[in-house]
Structure 1
Amino acid sequence: MADGDTITVCKVAPAGALQARNGKKGILFFWRYSQGTTSKRLSIGPYDATPGHVNKHTPTVAGYSIAAAIKAAEAMAVQHTTAKAAGGGMGEILEQQKQAKAEAKAQQEAAALAVKAAADATEAAAKYTLKALILAYCDHLQSLGRTSHKDARSIFNLHVIDAWPQLAVAPAKSITEEQVADMMRRLHEAGKGRTANKLRSYTRAAYQTAKAAKSKPSIPVHFKAYGITHNPAAETSPDESANKADKNPLTLQELRNYWKQIKDAPGHRAAVLRFVLLTAGNRPEQVFRLKTKDIDLTSTPPMVTIFDPKGRPGKPARIHALPLIPAAVETLEALKPQGEFALSTDGGRTHITAGSTYGAWSKAAAQAVGIVGFTPKRIRSTVETVLAPKSMGVSKEIRGRLQSHGISGVQAGHYDAYDYLQEKYDAMQTFYQILTTDGSAKILPMLSPQESGQVLQLVKSA
C-alpha cells in the first residue's frame, strides 16, 4: 500500500467490510458499515506485520494480523446487526459506551473529591482549632496596635489552653455555648468572676471576627478558613455582679503624700513618676509609648502627642494631644529624651514598661508613705475624682478629654474637630494646684499658658 491508500480487504459477515488505510502512523484496520443512508468507519487497530503473526486470530501488543482484524470486524458486525434488529445499531452502541465511560469517569472524580474533602476536613479539624482561633485573634489585636492583646493572650493561655487542653485542640466551629459556659463557670467558682467575664468577652470577639470575615474585607482572609457560622460565646450570659467598676481612688491626703515623696527625689526613676502623675491620670502604657519626635515644647502651650489604641477593633489609634504645665515641662526636660522613645532606661531604644517597671517603682513610692493596696490605676481614678466637684470648674466632658475616655457618639466622632488643648491645660493646672496646695489653703486662679511659661522661666533663672 502506498502512503494515503485505503483498500477494502474483504467483506465480513453478517455486515460491512474490513478496510485498511496507510497513514502517518502506519497501516490501520477499520470496520466499514452502513447506518441508514450513511457509511461509517469504526477503528479496529494497527496492522501487526511481524513474521509468524499472519494467522494469529487474537491481537498482539503490536496490533492485528489480517485474520485477527477480520475476527474483530465480524464481532462488531454481529453487535451492529443485533442492535439494528432491535431498532438501534452501532451508533446507539457507541453512544451507550460513551455514556458509560463518562459515568465511570464522573464516579471516579466524585470518589476522588470525597477522599479529598475527607482529607481536607481532617486537616481543618487539626489546624483550625479553638486554640488556633483565639491566638490568631490575639495576633490580630496586636497588628491593630491594641494593648488588650496581652491581656487576652494571658487569659486564653491560662484559662483555655492550659485549663481545657482537649477543648483547645477541638475544631473551633464545633465549640458550643455550654462548653464556653463551663470555662466561665470554672473561673466563677474560683471567685474570679471578673476574669470569667473577660474570658467571655474576648472569646465572643474572636468568634465574631471569624464570623464577620466572610463579609468584612478589613478582616484578614485567613479567619474565613475556620468556617464559623455561629458565635457560641454570644449565647452565654456574663456575671453582672462581677462587672462592678473598680473605683478605689486615693484620698486627697494620700495623693499629696505620694507627690511629696517623689517631687524632690533625685534620679531618673523619681522624674518618671513625677511626669506620669503630672499628665493627670493618663494611662501609663500610653504615656510610656511617647516618642521623642512627638514632643513639642515650642508650642503654646507646650505639648506632647500620644496615641490611644483602646476602642473598637478595626479603628485606628486615636490621636491624643496633651498640653504640659510648667512643672511637667521641667520634669520632661530633666529626663533628657533621646532616641525613639522619650521615657526609657536604655537611651530611647525601648520604652519603660507600664506593668513590671513603672508598677514596681510607683508601688515602692506609695508604700514609703504608708499607702495600702496601691495600684497605678488608683491614680487615674483619683484625678477624675478630685476634679469632679463643680467648684473645680472641670466638666465631665473635659475630664474625659483629658484622660482620653468617654469620647463617643456621632458628634464627637464625625463633627467636633476642636482640640480642647486650652481646656485640658486649665484642668491640668487645677489638678496641679490641688496636688501642691495644703488642705487649709485656697486654690489659686488658673494661669494662662503664656503666664505659666513666664513662671517657668523665672523658676529656671532662680
Structure 2
Amino acid sequence: MQRERLTSERIRKLELPSNIKQVFLWDTEAPRLAVRATAGSKSFIFESKLNRGTIRRTIGDVRAWVLEDARNEARRLQTLIDQGIDPRELERDKKEAKAAAKAAKFAAEQEAERRKHFTLKALCEAYCENLKGKGKAKSARDALSAFNCHVFSTEHAETTAGEVTPHQIAGIVRSVFETGKERTAGILRNYLVAAYNAARRAPFDPTILSKLIDFQITTNPADPVPAIGVNRGERTLTPEELKEYMDALGDTPVEQMLRLHIYAGGQRMIQISRAKASDYATDTGTLRLWDSKGKRRTAREHLIPLAAKGKAILKALSAGKAPDTKLFNSERAAGDRIAEIREKMGGPYFDTRDLRRTCETMLAGMGITKETRAHLLSHGLGGVQDAVYDKHAYTKEKRSALEAWEAKLAEIIEGKPEKRKNVTSITKRKKAA
C-alpha cells in the first residue's frame, strides 16, 4: 500500500500503469483517505472497516474537491464508524428522506392546485352542468341564477368545496333570509344541499357527472342547515278577475300562449313554451308536452286532448310550420306579459302558479275528480300504482273535463251560461263496471 502525504502536485503526478486497472495513493495525514486513479479519472476515496467488513466510499473527483475538504470528509466518515454507524446506511436514509420530502412537496403542490380549482363556486357550476346533462335545463338555469346572486359574490366562493363549513353555508343562507327573501333563502339552501349530495354520491352513481367525483366530497355541510318553511301559495283568482285577465289577452303569439295555458286547464308554462309544431296532432286535437319535473330520469309524455277553443289556437299556430319549429314564446316572455296585465288590473299579486291553482280549484268545484285532475295537470303521479300498474291513458276523462272547462270559461268570459256536458266521474265509472 503506497502511502504519502497527499499534495496537489503528487495527485497530479499519480499515473496509472498500462497493465493495471486502478492504483491508490494513501494519505499519511488522514490515513483512511486515498486518491484512486483509473483510466481517465482520479477520485478521493475513503476506506475503513466496521464489524470486520470493509467499507469503501467515493468522496468525489479530485478536480471538484479541495484536498483539505476531502481530508475533513474522511475524518467525518471515520468518526461515524468509530460510533458504530455505517455511512452507507446513513446515506441511504438521507436519500430516502430526500425522496420522501420531494414526494411530499409534489403532493402538497398537487393538493394546492386541486384546492384552487375545486372551490365552492366550481362545485355549484358542476352541479348545474349535471342538471343540464339530465335534461333539466330550466332547473340548471334557476340554480345557476341563485348561485350567481347569492354564493359567487361571497367570500366563501373560492374556498375549497370540501372545506366549507356548516357555519359558512348557514351564513350564506342567512344573509338572503335577513333581506326578507324567505322563499329565495329556502330555495338556495335546497340547491346547496343538492349540489353537495350529488358530489358525495358521484363516485358510486354512474348517472351523475363524473366531474363531481374530483371534488372528493364525503360530507354535506349544508345538511345541518334546516329547511326554511315557506307558506304555500293560496292565491286564486275570482271569476271576475279571471274574466278581466282573459279579456286583456290579445292575439300576439305570447298572448295566444297565455290563452292556451288557461284553456288547457293550467298546464305548466315551461312545458307549453317548449312545444313544437310536431307536438300537436291536428287529427285528434291532442297536444303533447314533456314533463321532466321531479326526479324522473327521462321526461314523461303528457297528452292533453284539447276542446274546441284550445284546438283552434293550435290549429292556427301550427299551420305551415316545420315540425321542429317552436309554437310559442319563452316562459319569460309569458311572465312579462302577465306582469303587465297584473299591473293594469291592480289588486293582489298573481303569477302562472296562481293561474294554475285557479284552474284546478275551479275544476274541482265543477265536480272533476281529483284523479282526473291529477292526470290532466300531470302531478302526483309518482307513486307505484300510477308509475307501474295504472297504465290507463285517461284520455276520455281529460277530454270531458276540458270540454266542461271551456263551457265554464264561456260562462265567466261572456256571461252567457252554456249547457255543460256531463263529466264522467271516475268513481261512477268504476261502479258501473
**Shared fold, TM over 0.5:** yes
Q: Is the 8 A contact 1:272 1:335 kept in 2?
A: no
Matched, 1:398 2:372: yes
Give the aligned partner of residue 289 of structure 1. Answer: 274
Following TM superposition, by how much is the alpha carbon of 1:405 offset from its aligned partner in structure 2, in angstroms? 1.5
Q: Give the letter for the 1:415 counterpart.
A: Y
Deviates more, 1:268-277 or 1:437-446: 437-446
Q: Is the 8 A contact 1:173 1:226 kept in 2?
A: yes
Q: Is the 8 A contact 1:437 1:443 kept in 2?
A: no
Q: Distance in 2 between matches of 1:124 and 1:144?
A: 26
Q: Structure 1 residues 425, 60: CA separation in 2 closer, same or farther (over 3 Å shift)?
A: farther
Q: Structure 1 residues 372, 247: CA separation in 2 closer, same or farther (over 3 Å shift)?
A: closer
Deviates more, 1:190-199 or 1:371-380: 371-380
Give the aligned partner of residue 255 of structure 1. Answer: 242
Q: Give the letter for the 1:320 counterpart.
A: H
Deviation sequence 1:19-78 (CA, Å, 0-9, x none) = xxxxxxxxxxxxxxxxxxxxxxxxxxxx96789x9977333574579xx9xx98xx86x6
Q: Distance in 1 between matches of 2:340 and 2:174?
A: 36
Q: Structure 1 residues 121, 441: CA separation in 2 closer, same or farther (over 3 Å shift)?
A: same
Q: Distance in 2 between matches of 1:60 and 1:307?
A: 88
- Quick one: which of 158, 167, 174 aligns to 2:156? 167
Secondary structure of 2:331's aligned partner: coil
Q: Distance in 2 between matches of 1:367 and 1:203?
A: 34
Secondary structure of 1:319's aligned partner: strand
Q: Distance in 1 between matches of 2:355 and 2:107?
A: 57
Give the aligned partner of residue 385 of structure 2. Answer: 411
Q: Is the 8 A contact 2:236 2:354 kept in 1?
A: yes
Q: Give the letter for the 2:109 counterpart.
A: A
Secondary structure of 2:261's aligned partner: helix
Deviation sequence 1:359-396 (CA, Å, 0-9, x none) = 2233444555666534222211111110112xx23222
Give the aligned partner of residue 110 of structure 1. Answer: 100
Following TM superposition, by how much is the alpha carbon of 1:418 offset from its aligned partner in structure 2, in angstroms? 2.3
Following TM superposition, by how much is the alpha carbon of 1:99 offset from its aligned partner in structure 2, in angstroms? 5.9
Q: Structure 1 residues 190, 326: CA separation in 2 closer, same or farther (over 3 Å shift)?
A: same
Give the aligned partner of residue 308 of structure 1. Answer: 291
1:87-106 matches, cutoff 5 A: 103-106=93-96
Q: Give the letter for the 2:215 counterpart.
A: Y
Give the aligned partner of residue 119 of structure 2. Answer: 129
Following TM superposition, by how much is the alpha carbon of 1:287 offset from its aligned partner in structure 2, in angstroms? 0.6
Q: Distance in 1 between matches of 2:177 and 2:204?
A: 35
Q: Distance in 2 between matches of 1:244 and 1:55?
A: 97
Give the aligned partner of residue 423 of structure 1. Answer: 397
Q: Distance in 1 between matches of 2:382 and 2:171?
A: 35
Q: Distance in 2 between matches of 1:49 and 1:283?
A: 100
Q: Distance in 1 between matches of 2:151 and 2:232?
A: 25
Q: Is the 8 A contact 1:256 1:436 kept in 2?
A: no
Q: Distance in 1 between matches of 2:135 and 2:142?
A: 13
Q: Could you tell me the TM-score, scaled by structure 1's length? A: 0.71
Q: Distance in 1 between matches of 2:385 and 2:416?
A: 41
Q: Is the 8 A contact 2:364 2:370 kept in 1?
A: yes
Structure 2 spans left out of the alignment, 5+ residues: 3-14, 26-34, 57-80, 425-433
Q: Distance in 1 between matches of 2:238 and 2:38?
A: 102
Q: Structure 1 residues 317, 54: CA separation in 2 closer, same or farther (over 3 Å shift)?
A: closer
Give the aligned partner of residue 444 of structure 1. Answer: 420
Matched, 1:237 2:222: no
Following TM superposition, by how much is the alpha carbon of 1:203 offset from its aligned partner in structure 2, in angstroms? 0.4
Q: Give the letter for the 2:288 counterpart.
A: T
Deviation sequence 1:176-227 (CA, Å, 0-9, x none) = 1111111222222211111111111000000111111122122122212212
Q: Structure 1 residues 323, 188: CA separation in 2 closer, same or farther (over 3 Å shift)?
A: same
Q: Is the 8 A contact 2:255 2:334 kept in 1?
A: no
Q: Give the letter for the 2:99 counterpart.
A: E
Give the aligned partner of residue 212 of structure 1. Answer: 201
Q: Percent identity?
A: 30
Q: Is the 8 A contact 1:252 1:386 kept in 2?
A: no
Following TM superposition, by how much is the alpha carbon of 1:257 offset from its aligned partner in structure 2, in angstroms? 3.0
Matched, 1:83 2:58: no
Matched, 1:273 2:255: no
Deviation sequence 1:409-435 (CA, Å, 0-9, x none) = 222222222222222222212221111
Following TM superposition, by how much is the alpha carbon of 1:113 offset from its aligned partner in structure 2, in angstroms? 1.9
- Quick one: which of 281, 300, 309 aligns to 1:327? 309
Q: Is the 8 A contact 1:204 1:231 kept in 2?
A: yes
Q: Distance in 1 between matches of 2:23 and 2:276?
A: 97
1:354-369 matches, cutoff 5 A: 354-355=331-332, 357-365=333-341
Secondary structure of 2:318's aligned partner: coil
Q: Distance in 2 between matches of 1:100 and 1:195?
A: 64
Q: Is the 8 A contact 2:265 2:405 kept in 1?
A: yes
Deviates more, 1:251-260 or 1:121-130: 251-260
Following TM superposition, by how much is the alpha carbon of 1:290 offset from its aligned partner in structure 2, in angstroms? 0.8
Secondary structure of 1:167's aligned partner: coil
Q: Distance in 2 between matches of 1:447 and 1:416?
A: 21
Deviation sequence 1:263-293 (CA, Å, 0-9, x none) = xx44544433322222211111111101222
